Chains A and B, each alone.
Chain A
Amino acid sequence: MIIMAGFDFGTTTSSAVFARAKVVKNGITGVMEYASPVVFFAAEPRYTPYVGDRIDEAALAGYIDAWLVAANIHPEDASAGGAIITGLAAQKENASAIASLIRARIGDAVVATANDPSLESWLAFMGSARELSRELTDQAIINLDIGGGTTNMAFGVNGEVRGTGCLFVGARHVRVTPGTYRIEALSPYAKHLFSHLGLAKSIGDSLSRPEVDSIVDFYLALIHQTLAGKSLDRNDCEALHEQVPFSLPPDLFNTANQAAVTITVSGGVGELVYRAMAGESPAAVTPFGDLGWDLALKLVADDWISSSLKNHVPKNMGRATAFGLALYNTEVSGTTVYLPDESILPLRDLPVVGRISPDTTAASIIKLLELAAKSSIGCAIQVDGKITGAEEVQRFSTVITNALRNSGYPRDRTLVLLLNGNVGKSLGALITSWGRDPFRLVVIDEVSLRAANFVNIGRITHQIIPVSFYGM
């Protein structure tokens, strides 16, 4: 049994989820996986504590400690999962402070990732809409994870994410005094938006109802526009609000397909949307001191979006990202890896410099290694494709050995090969002539490769290695 942890530190709220799972070999595929994870603790989201713009480290440490106590686990028990830091919390000093807190309290198993909107979109989909998507096998699901600072969008079919995107659309770009529309703070994006909309209001001023509507209408229109794939015609303000372009298949919203697309929402605003649909409304405006309820009510009033929302409710709405982190962020390697020296691990924030296939030439690999040599901490290369048979493994190992010998890649620098096949130990042994060539090589197999810029590789336990990608 292992413990998986997910921590989500957002602009507005922070939350944590802990799950328990067994690492087992799939009886059909032979691949190692986490079996039947059971979430045994999911913290209610709490406001992310700040002192001014700086994260309140002492308060946040108190949160983490309280979660661990409430979940009744020892920090060292967590052996998979992740932490994500977004929005205001991801600003430079804040991110490193939170990462240090996590490292000090949980250890190496849970690595914090800051400002990775595509990963966050992916996680939110996995944490909330995955099960629904697997149930509605004939439908494409688009999940909008709407929080304080961003709307993280992901599109998936049958439980698998096919595309992600992100907008700077959220509840807390305009912060107001709770119960009023008196402005307390505006994010840089909100300032641009005010200027774009011609709203001559600043801190201390109150927004009128039409002005509030114009703001949330802009957000809604931007979401519509993005889902309709019209990002090319954007004006400057709209373009500024786009963090990661969201590319959907061009024919996704054709008339014929319209019924085959379901939209779900998650995140703090997502949760308000479903509460609004259930007939709830706030006793007074802006109970959280932001435009969350206004945005939620606007989404519910939108025919196109609400028609989907009525029929299908995803899980874990407000904590989708934390659920995604705990349950899906980490995968496990096969049990036969090439790791001559266990002390090489863990490896944190290793750049993934490229992807090769078993028939890639030595010259191409040399180019990749020369690029990789710029990374002082080493690098990872993904090897995509089936390598079967002794002849093929021997041929491929020779190509890599030659590339390593003939490139400027320092021999004492770590090189990790990530394979989706199951030949890691043999490939590594042959590349290094059974350890006689002094390459600092690790070969990890049976990993589902992802288009990512970085990878975190945990320590080996019970013959398997946890692997998590980010920077997608």
Chain B
Amino acid sequence: MIKLTPLAEIQVPTPKPDEWYRLNFNGLEHSFLGLKKLLGAADISKAGDRNAGLAAPSEVEREAARTILSSLTVQHLFDRPLTDDAGLVDSVMRVNYAIDPDAFAEIAALSIGDVKNLLLRSEGAAIKRIGRGLTGVMAAALAKIMDIHELIYVARKIEHITKARTRIGLRKTLASRLQPNHPTDDLRGITCLTYLGLSVGSGDALIGVNPAVDTVENISAILVHLDKIRRHTKAPTQICVLGHLKTQMACLERGAPVEIMFQSLAGTERSNLTEFDISVELLDLAWGAMQKKGALGSEAKQFMYLETGQGSEFTYGKHNGMDMTTAEALCYGLARRYDPFMVNNVTGFIGPETHLDNFEMIAANLQDHFMGKLLGLPMGMAPCYTLHSKIGLEGQQMATEMLTAAGANFFMDVCLNTDRMLAYFDTSGHDNQTLREIYDKEPAPDYLVWALDRGIFRRNADGHLVRGENWGNPRMFCQSNAELDDLLRVTPSVPGFLPKDHAGPRPTNDITREIRRHQAVGREAIQSELDLARLSSVADFRIVKTKALDKASHLNHPDFGAEPGLAIDSENAVQLTPEHTDIQIVVSDGLSADAVHHNLEDIFPVLLSGLKAHGFKLGRHILAPYGRVKLAEPIAKALGARCVILLIGERPGGSALASRSLSAYLVYHLLDKDDQLQAAKFSGNVDIQFEYSVLSNIYEAGTPAVEAGSVIVEKVEQMLRCRAAGNRLESLMNKSR
């Protein structure tokens, strides 16, 4: 078992001022001030780095940066730890310096280019030794000067085997994490998706649920349920519910079966502290708690599951001036501290503001996989996408083909590629089996024994592993057809998962077409534009533009839609000035103008009828194309409105019908000093200015628009009467009952 080096004992060189790096090439001088700029320019061009002003503007500039970077010695990078915005070495960077001094000494004098050559010439054990002498920044530098073949070739030589209940990471294997997420944590839906996944040989790395609700009670309940499923099916694997570290620690304390402890990591201390609410100290505590009390006890050699992905630091505006690849590599340097059972990379999850298209996503995935493996991690990969990026299923599949060739330890099994809770698209159990067959891979050996016994796989006459008679037959885990029907009845986006619905390791064409049709509708909804003429017949709107001037800038710059641009109405340009109304209604497309078109005509008459009946003073309605949720705040401030009702299109997921789903954000403006004090006391945020109540899923299969109208009226009436929103309002309402 590893021993955690106390943070204070990790020696980090004193940061140096930024230096100029220069190269004369083809008659032009290329210069870069400081390592961060140099590293940023040396990478392939990705949306997040372009948005951060770090990507090289041209191929020549990029190659110049790569040439300079190649010439720098490992020692040079060692001596210049990258600092945070205050010029300090943060805790994540410090942990990255916990390297093997002997391994480092062997390569310190080599240039980055030489180390790359050495990696290409070396075999697995030697590569792993080099990796132990590298910090994240060094691994990132190497990734930036490697091409696609090289990223695959070197990573493929590294084998990292870890062991919990099952062993994963063997060269011959391709495992999977089964992700049976359900939008309401319905245990029946979770059971259903688990059975479907196990039936196609998934879940040998983990059965792990991302919960919709992060409470100790809920996570404990799901853990107990997963444990029950595991015992019922006898599948040899491990379970996890991916709540926050603190919640899982409380579950562990209560005796819930926490077999594997999960946490997402970012590559800067600021992101970890303020966005993920974690620190190195907390991670150390969690690791220690698992070492003592983890449900697998001594059966597991490793028990941590860490998740990362390029771009989170940039999205939060807390990347300390570093590019996405470098920040990602720092996550690995942090993850390495805990000798995790598995690391999962979800680059592509965020959206087009970090990775715009297939190429950016694929290349980033290969970089991440290489860096993680090099730094000693058991890397699983989840090349994924949201519908508002230009990444699609084909790009995702290309990524998985290359990542399998590169030796990824596992992929995700998100049933039929559609995550029902997180509204994004990941790899499926069908994908995993297809890749296993193409690349001659097997499930984890301990799991395989079980799967052979259940007829999920069989050995053919040549000893090759092939699909068995029960592959893709979830009925084998149920007592009756009715039980399976009941499970499927509560599980969205499963058009079919019986033996007749599979064609070889793939879904049948009918199933694929249905899934793809839904995705296509979702994508179209995102690209749809508000029909101003049609909406003007619903109500008298004034139009407020945001800083996003077109669809592309709206999708690629989420912050643009949160700020009003020049305010105009249809005739005269006007600025928003204080009106001191009770309520301001704002309608915006958000990520689906279709949602607005399909709901507004039914929601408005009831909503207006109710607000007027209560005698509220309303401002003239606002229509704001290319808006985001936070737009409500500057509008409330400019108008001096007590409350904003923001009706905005939700991010489409895998259901065509749900692409028409609208949300109502009911925003209470804490204008009154006493209200603000109460809210600050309740939330712990002394600067709080707004409180939110939300009604989501306004569409045919959720809350129908016409019903939503009166639900909003009732909630807004409560907000204005109790002078609160969100959890504080609910708490006040409960007290008054």
Contact = CB atoms under 8 A, between A and B. Distances in A.
Contacts of A393: 606, 706
A390 B481 contact: no
- Shortest 7 CB-CB contacts between residues of A and residues of B: A134-B482, A434-B613, A426-B710, A390-B605, A425-B710, A390-B602, A429-B710
Contacts of B606: 390, 393, 426, 429-430
Interface in A415-434: 422-426, 428-430, 433-434
Contact of A22 (B187, B420, B697): B187
A459 to B, nearest CB: 12
Interface string A3-38: 000000000000000000010111111100001100
Contacts of A387: 706
A134 to B, nearest CB: 4
Main secondary structure of the interface of A (DSSP, over half): mixed
A325 B704 CA distance: 32
The DSSP consensus for interface residues of chain B is helix
B713 interface: yes
A389 interface: yes
Interface in B453-487: 480-482, 485
B-side interface size class: 35 or more
B613 A433 contact: yes
Contacts of B184: 24-25, 27
Contacts of B601: 389-390
Contacts of B489: 26, 28
B703 A159 contact: no
29 contacts: A24-B490, A25-B186, A26-B490, A27-B183, A27-B186, A30-B702, A35-B187, A131-B480, A137-B481, A336-B711, A338-B710, A387-B706, A388-B706, A390-B602, A390-B603, A390-B606, A391-B605, A393-B606, A393-B706, A425-B710, A425-B711, A426-B606, A426-B706, A426-B710, A429-B713, A434-B609, A434-B610, A434-B713, A436-B613
Nearest to A392: B706
A394 interface: yes
A30 to B, nearest CB: 5
Given A30-B702, A134-B485, A390 B709 contact: yes
A388 B701 contact: no
Given A27-B183, A430-B609, 5 more contacts: A27-B492, A388-B602, A390-B601, A390-B602, A436-B613
Interface of A: 22, 24-30, 35-36, 131, 134-135, 137, 159, 336, 338, 387-391, 393-394, 422-426, 428-430, 433-434, 436, 445
Nearest to A428: B710
Nearest to B185: A24
A422 B704 CA distance: 7
Contacts of A423: 704, 706-707
Interface in B474-523: 480-482, 485, 489-492
Of the listed residues B187, B482, B491, B709, the one surrounded by the most CB atoms of chain A closer than 10 A to its CB is B482
B655 to A, nearest CB: 9
B610 A135 contact: no
B187 A27 contact: no
Nearest to B703: A336
Contacts of A436: 613
Interface string B688-709: 0000000001000111111101
B214 interface: no
Nearest to A435: B613
Contacts of B714: 425
B90 to A, nearest CB: 41
Contact of A426 (B481, B485, B614, B709): B709
B188 interface: yes
A36 B609 CA distance: 40
A24 B714 CA distance: 23
B697 A30 contact: yes
Contact of A28 (B490, B605, B609, B713): B490
Contact of B707 (A27, A134, A426): A426
Given A27-B182, A35-B188, A423-B704, A135 B482 contact: yes
Contacts of B21: none
A389 B602 contact: yes
Interface in B534-554: none
B153 interface: no
A28 B604 contact: no
Contacts of B186: 24-27, 35
B704 A36 contact: no
A442 to B, nearest CB: 14
Interface string B186-220: 11110000000000000000000000000000000
A389 B610 CA distance: 16
Contacts of B701: 28-30
Contacts of B187: 22, 35-36
Nearest to A386: B704
B154 to A, nearest CB: 43
Nearest to B704: A422
- Most chain B beta carbons < 10 A, residue from A24, A27, A134, A428: A27
B613 A336 contact: no
A430 to B, nearest CB: 7
Contacts of B183: 27
Contacts of B604: 390
B706 A389 contact: yes
A425 B609 CA distance: 13
A352 B601 CA distance: 34
A336 B695 CA distance: 12
Nearest to B480: A135
A422 B489 CA distance: 19
Contacts of B703: 30, 336, 422
Nearest to A421: B704
A366 B601 CA distance: 31
Q: Which of B485, B490, B713 has the most CB of A within 10 A?
A: B490
A182 B184 CA distance: 62
A129 to B, nearest CB: 12
Contacts of A388: 602, 704, 706
A386 to B, nearest CB: 10
Nearest to A25: B184
Nearest to A425: B710
A154 to B, nearest CB: 17
Nearest to A134: B482
Given A35-B188, A135-B480, A159-B482, A27 B704 contact: no
